[in-house]
């Protein structure tokens, strides 16, 4: 950590990559859905423009942007969530077609930062 008590940009990125590794591991273990994992990692602010795996997670998150996924679901009414259930299942199934390998790669690549 820098002398000022603040993280340098590099330290911040390493910290976010460690969080991404833990999140990816939870998805691989079945503790988080693909949509929840993609949204959580995408919100870390890692540069998806230079990383094809992060770019795919950004694509998943964009596809699910209007859906009550993760913590934001607590702000939705139960009937509104129920009305989106089929769409959530459809997008989750779509992501399941290619996302497992993405999460496995990210977990392995960023694990060194944990």
Least Cα distance to 68 among 97, 22, 33 occurs for: 33
Nearest-Å Rg of the Cα atoms of the chain is 15
pLDDT, tens digit, 9 for 90 and up, residues 41-100: 999 999 988 899 999 999 999 999 999 998 999 999 999 999 999 999 999 999 999 999
User: Which helix H or strand E contains 95, and what residues bound it?
Assistant: helix 85-96
Tens digit of each residue's pLDDT (9 = 90 or more) over 18-57: 999 999 999 999 999 999 999 999 999 999 888 999 999 9
What's the CA gap between 86 and 51, in Å, rounded? 31
DSSP type of residue 113:
G
- Measured between alpha carbons, how far is 40 from 61 in angstroms, rounded to an integer? 9
């Amino acid at each position: 950590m820098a002398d000022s008590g603040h993280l340098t940009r590099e330290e911040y990125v390493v910290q976010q990559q460690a969080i991404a590794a833990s999140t990816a591991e939870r998805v691989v273990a079945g503790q988080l859905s693909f949509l929840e994992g993609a949204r959580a990692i995408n919100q870390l602010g890692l540069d998806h423009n230079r990383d094809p795996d992060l770019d795919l997670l950004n694509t998943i998150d964009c596809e699910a942007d209007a859906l009550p996924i993760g913590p934001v679901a607590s702000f939705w009414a139960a009937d509104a969530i129920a009305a989106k259930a089929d769409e959530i299942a459809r997008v989750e199934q779509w992501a399941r077609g290619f996302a497992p390998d993405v999460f496995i790669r990210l977990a392995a690549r960023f694990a060194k930062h944990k």
